[in-house]
Amino acid sequence: MSSNTLAPAGRLFRFFPAFSLSLRLAIALPPEPCLFLIYIKFIFLKRGDFSLNGVIEEIFKRYDVRGLYPGQLNDGIAYRAGRAFVQRFKPKTLAVGRDCRLGSEPLSKAFIKGAIGQGADITDIGLVSTDMIYFAVGKYGFDAGCMVTASHNPREWAGFKFCGKGATGISSENGLWDVRDLVASGKFEKPVKKGKLLQMDVLSDYTEKCLSLVDAKKIKPLKVVVDASNGMAAKTLSAIEARLPVKIVKVFFEVDGNFPGHEPNPLNPENVEALKKRVLEEKADLGAIFDGDGDRMLMVDEKGNPVNGSMLTCLIASSLLKKSPGSKILYTPVMSKAVPETIGENGGIPVLERVGHSFIKQRMRKENVLFGGEHSGHFYFRENYFADSGLIAWLVALEAISESGKKFSFLINPFRKYCAIDETNSDVRGKSAKLAEIEKIYAPKAEKTSKLDGFSAYFKGWWFNVRPSGTEDKLRLNLEADSRELMEAKKGELLKTIRA
């Protein structure tokens, strides 16, 4: 058999590493044994009765679990994950929810089966947004929560997000990779008894909680286009719509795990085009877009111009500080300089923390921070168990826009005073060595530097942050300047160094 004949199969099986051994054996055997081996490997894959160390290393990230379904993440792994999570964290009660992805329901069932088998009592809250699982754990006092979702990834992906008691973050720093190692070994303690399964609908309580954090009477009858990305925000927004005076023009509100409208990632400019077009057609006051699991939200103004996470953090912080002057507001090193400036100008105390929901939640709890924002469109609220919520952020933004009595673009323009690049990724094999090289070049010239999250350097008229990806051989560059010309010049200069 020629190498050309094998090439398509090689490309296919790269995405299904669990089959690789069968493929290699099958090439050397007659047809009948080939089919038998592939069949046996498929049965093992479904049951999870084989070594998957390479796959498991790949799908367990720093903050969650994500993989292609069912090639990398399948029911067998989900079953083991349920057992492993309960063995590692010992929750007596565990809330489990899922998004609309095609793999989420079977993975949820398998995870629940494993968790019950290991002794935990499970409350299945069904088809929900990720912020609803955080709410449920905080509100009802569950020991932990599991959301079956791959967030904003393409439809072929599936995954898990976890939280601890009080909706605290779980990551590689505090036990997630212990779960990974247990899943890989398949060795579990014998439980004293099996757990039980309950069902709960939390949608009504969740919408009441969200509405309690704003004064709905102050929200004007704005015309708002909302793109739900065929995801879970369609469910929460439909439940709250009748309680608000706004007219919602719905885009991609059919909950569909195939995501037929577009990929459920609002950070990709292509995915925002339909929203921008509809805002202009409808002559709407603004537009909003959510990701697949509904916890991430970004906006466009009435002219269709993007309103990113930094600008929304400025808007929401300004509004909340009017009600709670002197409070602490959290932001991250990749956000616009306008964010700490706006916090200070409105009487708040800026708190800088590294990117990542676990770090942010931990810091907010430690310092009783009122609100935290990320450039990626995640917004965290003290009154929501320090967890993030796209729906609450949307409501607070509507209240702020209504109270101002101004066009959204006019309200946002003061936060657009700097020119920023989109986060730019570069493939780099020696990430640590390259970061050290960048620091050596730029630190002596900088007015200020920081190593809180990668390396940041601040100069007159511009700043940059370079940080390593936690899961890939990549460096991520964020940069902002007082002018577009300076921004482009410094971007080119830094990318040349990073990619050299």
In 3D space, the residue among 246, 248, 278 whose CA is nearest the CA of residue 262 turns out to be 278
| CB-CB contact of 119 with 195 (8 Å) | yes
Judge residue 370's burial from the number of C-beta atoms within 10 Å of its C-beta, 0-12 exposed, 13-18 middle, 19 or more buried: buried
Distances (CA, A) of 312 to 83, 90, 336, 376, 393: 40, 38, 11, 11, 9
Cα 415 from Cα 426, distance rounded (Å): 28
Measured in whole angstroms, how far is the alpha carbon of residue 264 from the centre of its chain? 11
Q: Does residue 475 contact residue 466 with C-beta atoms inside 8 Å?
A: yes
For residue 193, list its beta bridge partners: none
Under 8 Å between Cβ of 459 and 453: no
Strands (E), 150-301: 157-164, 197-199, 223-227, 247-251, 286-290, 297-300
First to last CA, the chain: 40
Give me Rg for the CA atoms of the chain. 24
d(C-alpha 427, C-alpha 438), whole Å: 15
Quote the CA–CA distance of 248 and 221 in Å, as a whole number: 10
Cα 160 to Cα 308: distance, rounded to the nearest angstrom:
26
Active site residue 151: yes
Contact 93, 125 (CB under 8 A): no
Tell the residue number behind the tokens 């292609």, with chain if given.
68
What 3-state DSSP class applies to 121? strand
Given 151, 172, 327, 376, which residue is catalytic? 151
Catalytic sites, residue numbers: 151
